Structure 1
Amino acid sequence: MKKLIIALSLISFYIINVAAQGADEELNLDFKGVSVLDFSVETVDKSNDFDAVYVLNRELIKFYPGAKFGQMRIVHKRIRIENQDGLEYATEQISLYQKGNAKEYVVDLEGVTYNLIDGKVESSELGKDAIFDKDINEFYKSKSFTMPDVKVGSVIEYTYTIGSDTAYIDDLYLQYEIPILNLEAGILFPRQFVYNVVFNPRAVYKVAFNASDFGEGISGSKITAEEDEEFGSDIETEQLRISGKSIGIATKNIPALAAEPMSGGAQRYRAKLIMNIAATRFTNGQVSKEYASSWRDVAKTIYDSDRFGSAIKKSSFYKKDLESILDDTMGDLKKTEVIYEFVKSKVKWNGRYGVFTRDGLKSAYKDGSGSVADVNLLLVSMLKKAGVNANPVLVSSDDNGVPIFPTREGFDYVIVQVIINGEKILLDATEKFARPNLIPLRAANWKGRVVQENGASDWVKLTENQKSQEIVLLNLSLDEEGLIAGKAKKRLSQYMALRSRNENQNANQEDIEEYLVNDNVGLQVADVKVDDMNSTNEYLNYSFDVVYKDAVDEIGDKLYITPLLFEANEENPFSLPRRNLPLDLSYPLEVKTIVNLAIPDGYEVESMPQSVNYVYLNKGYYKYITKISNNIITTVATFNMDTSVVLSIDYKAFRDFYASVVEKDAEKIVLKKI
């Protein structure tokens, strides 16, 4: 490690010193510089009881010339363990890419654990017997290590270098799930390439900068990140253009990246630097080649690949099978339905993403298993061969987030678009129960780029805001003993049906009954019938008998009943006082509950909840209606959301709206003896 530190010290990093109320200035941040101060220095982030704290997180990237063009990512971390759960930080796993010429490796790994005993710092060195190598799959292996003698209160420190022969630079994180007391991050860019660099504009924690902060030779411009529904508008950010220069950031007290329920993944909101190769340079400094500068260029580059467009054209290996499942009487719609279901059953998705075929469509066809690209490019190929107007659609999956600027890595998933009689239909054959225009939620992110054979491309919407519905009908009777019994039906559509099918496709009768009871105390279901469980029909239907005990409170000569019974919303899951991240409901929805409750002879209604209609910012509503006729009390409650995203600025309004729903559902019908 000594040589690397000396070499690094020769680099003149331009550092932004971000003002902050700081950690103790006397800390020695050199490797093996831990002192008594490291055990007592505190974080200013008091938002949570954190499992651990980064006393130091340092990550520096540089490139070196040689027989191969290479990259070194030098990592130095110092972590204090705060509680038992924090002991997981004693183990570090480093994932290393192993494909082609971009293989990654680890060198100069050192580690020390420090414990404060009787006022003195005692250390334990990381031994070779605690370092392990493991093959994960054909593309990745890992190197992991576990620090010795770690306990609550320990300070652990380790450093290592990841080397690789690639010019692509992974995102440089400036924020983690625990607070950082001291952060140092820097990059020395090679002269052979020109890079575009941006700070993640969607990050909650902001580091504002511009080109002038880093000295001469670095240019900057304002760019607009792609439209993102979660923020309601495009986002403008500063983009740096850098070649052969260095940038760095040094600051203190970075708050933790707080996880918030239903946020759609905190990764997209992490503070980080994002790098993209924009061009290559000749040795004289002149630009030799500009890379894709628009999504149109990106899409064409992908289609022109042998593992994409050329793969679609190959058909000899499935020709006989295709002929056997089609006949001359079929129109394009019927052909599409038949081929779609055939591909689903013929080639199962192996869980891997990507836009390029792995070993070719023929191999996936023979093996009966393949990646997203294998499955859906095969679907495109077979549809085209059958004469259907079909083209691939490039997508950024939910895990990949919404890209900042045009880059090939902005797409990591592919689906299919067919056009029949002018109607555009989206298909994804990786999901057993997916239907036309109902693609899996993992792919229903942002927007897609449909690419034609001539290289032309355009954006397409991935969802049409179709509402997923749940309709529950309860026809029940209340007897004099306070027992409620009767018949129930539940109908699900769209994503609600898809989720229920995925969860229950292999369930037995007992499992289905448990699913329908859904932890409601006193509820029993029997004689369950399910229609269209193992199909792709629009609706999934459940019907069953219901017995509900202890649903009535009897006080004197009066009975108190919750009108919606076991379908009532009893708690508000949106209890946070505020949110920094949007609330992701996954899809627009409508939940409608109809309860017809026959009351026993000898009782009459003294009072019922009043009918109301609560509105959430003209984006949703809750309509609650009660009425009585012929001794049957009917309650109809409809919860409707026209949007799937609640912006952080709208969260309080939504929280209060939902609190009103819970409060309304808790109101009682009061029956009294005649």
Structure 2
Amino acid sequence: MKRLTAIIVFLCVTNAFAQKNKSTKIGNITVEELSMQRYEPDTTANAVVVYEHANYYLDEKRDYKKTTDFYFKIKILKKEGVEKATVSIPYYGDEKVHSVKGITYNLTENNNILKNHLIESEVYQKDVYGKWKEITFTLSNVKEGSVIEYTYSVTSPYSKIDDWYFQADIPKIKSDFTASILGNWKYNIRIVGFLKLTRNDSFAKKGCVYIPGLGEGACLILNYGIDNIPAFKEEEYMLSKENFISKLSFELESFHNPKGGVDRYTKTWKDADKSLRYDFLDNQTSKKNFFKNQLPPALLSIEDDLKRAKKAYRFIQHHFIWNEKYWPSKKVRIKEAFEDKTGTIFDINLSLYNALQAAQIESYLVLTSTRNKAVPTKLHPIVDDFNYLLVKAVINDKTYFLDATHKQLPFGLVRYESLNGDGRVLDFKKGSYWEPIELKRKTFRNVRTQLLLDEDLTLSGELTISSDGFFALHEREKLSNVSRESYLEDFESEHSNLEVEDFKHENLDEKDAPLHQKFSIIFDDVALKTNLRINPFLIEKVTKNPFKLNQRDYPVDYGYPRNISYVLSLKLPEGYIVKKIPENKAFALPNKGGRFVASFKSTNNSISVYSKISLNKRVFSSDEYHYLKEFYNQIINTHNSFIEIEKVSR
């Protein structure tokens, strides 16, 4: 991500007819485009954008409001690509969508071009939510081999310039964005993603406008474009695609008004801290006395700081129910939320902050955002980038990030969705700062299985699963939300040929301790009875590689490190011996990123298996992608191996 340009400052009003003429007109089609059968750079593509163009300017015919003319031409390559004929155009408030036109082109048997025009009555408008609305239409007679072409314009009274996405879920041959921006509006323009611009022209044009009575003015002319754009393909373990998909992003920095003053929209963090402290939080960080009266007196008398902090945390966690809302209205009222016993993410964790303050625990508010949003930019503060609030507590020189919005979260763990880059710690005395969100709770799962094979070749024995961190959180959620019977049915369905005879657990309600689950199981495998072979990985078997791309330009983000270990002890009945066992395996990721080991031993009529998967890092770079891909291939191959046994004659 980098800033492309800074805009010169010059007051003007413009006649932008010349810029309007740069907009691409509908009616551009060739027989060659209709004859195209596939797109060679990506033969898997269902459709390809032949050309697209957005042109931004001030429209004299619409009271000098800001207008963007859009043009799209798309080739349909496969029947799955027909969905591209349905178009949705969102717009907001006083914006207007107009000049909607569309044509479907098909080639006849005689190589004549058949046109089907979009009918105005087939363009629909609907309310979405709040002030958001949407225009939708579907082009007719679209099929495999068609080319569709459509244009529309959006006129807006607002200063915001929408992002222009060069990349999409289908490839593009050519994409352009052009603009003429008033000189007295200053934007920070950034290119996001990993693709390089093919066209990168920006210059100040003097005399581009003539204002009666004022003379000539200036504006900034932009011409950005990329050719041969690959489709953006999403994959597991990634943050929001908004961090990586190639696009132009516009952020308004300032406006030089006609009176000679400057209206600044991009703030410093000092300004943002002040705004957050007094405007958004509305003095809600000073409710220490209120919460001091709400906390149990015995809690405040606990001498040990960590124990006192945990008690305050549990008090808030059990008091509130999350209403499934994140960012609240500007006026936060945590006293009202406390009395209602329900609130947003901000209500609950702001209450936690005040409770910790009342308990005399050093604590700070931490702004972050959910993983479905772009990581907040560090170039300058944009408060709208954040939609989540955590609490940082410092106890005995150790830092804990806390989140009281989930009943099953242990002390020192936060919701997975809030792990989206660094957090902005709000220190209202010394100033805010960025800090990585490091979790005190380690995530692991240890599986231990002790089985006996009887003469009928049926396995039975004990299975113990110990887990902590996010693995324990997920299991506690399941156990708390479904009945025992439903939980065991789901468990058996996840592990074929396995039947649970008995089940018990330990530390289900002790969130700060590992969860232990103990199963008495019977395993009846057809392959064992027919071929005398057994796959030793009855539990925690990896069968699918989450990484399938030939190249991944964005990093792999697991959110947290993890360890999974597996131990199997298997005793054979009299008269059976081990014929063949798999080879031992060991595979390490570079940069100490992780390790996979698997060992197999047989002694007399006993078999022991040990395997461990360690991922030591939260984030792996795109350069490490192929190592991760091979890492999973090694695991899958090993987990697909078999132990062969045979019956010996007496």
Normalising by structure 2, we get a TM-score of: 0.83
1:475 Cα shift?
A: 0.9
1:37 Cα shift?
A: 5.4
Secondary structure of the residue that 1:384 maps to in structure 2?
Answer: helix
CA contact (8 A) 1:96 1:141 kept: yes
1:577 Cα shift?
A: 4.0
Q: Which amino acid aligns with 1:376?
A: N
CA distance in 1, matches of 2:512, 2:42: 47
Secondary structure of the residue that 1:214 maps to in structure 2?
Answer: strand
Answer yes or no: is 1:438 the counterpart of 2:438. no
Which of residues 488, 491, 503 in structure 2 aligns to 1:528?
503
Secondary structure of the residue that 2:392 maps to in structure 1?
Answer: strand
Which of residues 124, 127, 131 in structure 2 aligns to 1:131?
124
CA contact (8 A) 1:505 1:534 kept: no
1:392 Cα shift?
A: 0.9
CA distance in 2, matches of 1:258, 1:288: 40
CA distance in 1, matches of 2:56, 2:339: 43
Matches within 5 A, 1:130-169: 130-136=123-129, 138=130, 140-153=131-144, 154-169=146-161
Secondary structure of the residue that 1:650 maps to in structure 2?
Answer: helix
Secondary structure of the residue that 1:11 maps to in structure 2?
Answer: helix
1:224 is matched with which residue?
Answer: none
Secondary structure of the residue that 1:528 maps to in structure 2?
Answer: strand
CA contact (8 A) 1:482 1:552 kept: no
Secondary structure of the residue that 2:451 maps to in structure 1?
Answer: strand
CA contact (8 A) 2:266 2:380 kept: no
CA distance in 1, matches of 2:167, 2:258: 36
Equivalenced residue count is 616
Matches within 5 A, 1:495-644: 495-533=470-508, 536-550=511-525, 552-553=527-528, 559-617=532-590, 618-628=592-602, 631-644=605-618
Residues 168-208 of structure 1: per-residue CA shift (max 9 Å, x gap): 333221111112233221233333332221211xx232226
Q: Which amino acid aligns with 2:134?
A: K
1:488 Cα shift?
A: 0.8
1:422 is matched with which residue?
Answer: 397
Q: Which runs of 5+ in 1 are unaligned?
A: 1-5, 16-27, 98-102, 219-242
* 319 and 597 in structure 1: CA distance in 2 versus 1, 3 angstrom threshold: closer
1:46 is matched with which residue?
Answer: 41
Answer yes or no: is 1:269 the counterpart of 2:244. yes
Residues 135-160 of structure 1: per-residue CA shift (max 9 Å, x gap): 42x4x523131325353244444433
* 323 and 477 in structure 1: CA distance in 2 versus 1, 3 angstrom threshold: closer
2:213 is matched with which residue?
Answer: none
* 504 and 253 in structure 1: CA distance in 2 versus 1, 3 angstrom threshold: farther
CA contact (8 A) 1:523 1:547 kept: yes
CA contact (8 A) 2:204 2:219 kept: no
2:429 is matched with which residue?
Answer: 454
* 71 and 370 in structure 1: CA distance in 2 versus 1, 3 angstrom threshold: farther
CA distance in 2, matches of 1:133, 1:368: 37
1:237 is matched with which residue?
Answer: none
Secondary structure of the residue that 2:134 maps to in structure 1?
Answer: strand
2:294 is matched with which residue?
Answer: 322
* 456 and 359 in structure 1: CA distance in 2 versus 1, 3 angstrom threshold: closer
Matches within 5 A, 1:184-199: 184-199=176-191
CA distance in 2, matches of 1:364, 1:10: 56
Matches within 5 A, 1:366-377: 368-377=341-350
CA distance in 1, matches of 2:293, 2:60: 53
Answer yes or no: is 1:490 the counterpart of 2:465. yes
Secondary structure of the residue that 1:615 maps to in structure 2?
Answer: strand
Q: Which amino acid aligns with 1:188?
A: S
1:356 Cα shift?
A: 6.5
1:80 Cα shift?
A: 3.8
Which of residues 300, 304, 310 in structure 2 aligns to 1:337?
310
Secondary structure of the residue that 2:80 maps to in structure 1?
Answer: helix
Q: Which amino acid aligns with 2:627?
A: A
1:599 Cα shift?
A: 0.8
2:162 is matched with which residue?
Answer: 170
* 601 and 448 in structure 1: CA distance in 2 versus 1, 3 angstrom threshold: same
What is the root-mean-square deviation of aligned Cα atoms in Å? 3.7
CA contact (8 A) 2:24 2:71 kept: no
CA distance in 2, matches of 1:310, 1:9: 51
Which of residues 2, 7, 18 in structure 2 aligns to 1:10?
18
CA contact (8 A) 2:468 2:515 kept: yes
1:311 is matched with which residue?
Answer: 284
* 206 and 499 in structure 1: CA distance in 2 versus 1, 3 angstrom threshold: farther
1:447 Cα shift?
A: 0.9
Secondary structure of the residue that 2:416 maps to in structure 1?
Answer: coil
Q: Which runs of 5+ in 2 are unaligned?
A: 1-13, 207-217
* 278 and 644 in structure 1: CA distance in 2 versus 1, 3 angstrom threshold: same
1:222 is matched with which residue?
Answer: none
CA distance in 2, matches of 1:71, 1:360: 39
1:38 Cα shift?
A: 5.0
1:410 Cα shift?
A: 3.8
Which of residues 114, 120, 126 in structure 2 aligns to 1:121?
114
CA contact (8 A) 1:393 1:451 kept: yes
* 608 and 289 in structure 1: CA distance in 2 versus 1, 3 angstrom threshold: closer
1:233 is matched with which residue?
Answer: none
Residues 617-657 of structure 1: per-residue CA shift (max 9 Å, x gap): 23211222333457432211111111133322222223233
CA contact (8 A) 2:564 2:612 kept: yes
CA distance in 2, matches of 1:444, 1:283: 44
CA contact (8 A) 1:380 1:391 kept: yes
CA distance in 2, matches of 1:162, 1:436: 50
1:216 Cα shift?
A: 4.3
1:407 Cα shift?
A: 2.8
Normalising by structure 1, we get a TM-score of: 0.80
CA contact (8 A) 1:91 1:147 kept: yes
CA distance in 1, matches of 2:627, 2:198: 30
Of residues 342-351 and 469-478 in structure 1, the stretch that sits farther from structure 2 once superposed is: 342-351
CA distance in 2, matches of 1:291, 1:109: 34
Answer yes or no: is 1:248 the counterpart of 2:240. no
1:88 is matched with which residue?
Answer: 83
1:551 Cα shift?
A: 5.8
* 111 and 430 in structure 1: CA distance in 2 versus 1, 3 angstrom threshold: farther
Secondary structure of the residue that 1:497 maps to in structure 2?
Answer: helix
CA distance in 1, matches of 2:334, 2:205: 47
Secondary structure of the residue that 1:374 maps to in structure 2?
Answer: helix
1:227 is matched with which residue?
Answer: none
CA contact (8 A) 1:78 1:156 kept: yes
CA distance in 2, matches of 1:504, 1:63: 59
1:660 Cα shift?
A: 2.5
* 503 and 51 in structure 1: CA distance in 2 versus 1, 3 angstrom threshold: farther
CA distance in 2, matches of 1:369, 1:320: 19
Q: Which amino acid aligns with 1:539?
A: P
CA contact (8 A) 2:199 2:223 kept: no
Answer yes or no: is 1:405 the counterpart of 2:379. yes
Which of residues 377, 381, 394 in structure 1 aligns to 2:367?
394
Residues 298-317 of structure 1: per-residue CA shift (max 9 Å, x gap): 6524433422252333578x
CA contact (8 A) 1:473 1:595 kept: yes
1:649 is matched with which residue?
Answer: 623
Answer yes or no: is 1:349 the counterpart of 2:322. yes
1:290 Cα shift?
A: 7.8
* 207 and 285 in structure 1: CA distance in 2 versus 1, 3 angstrom threshold: farther
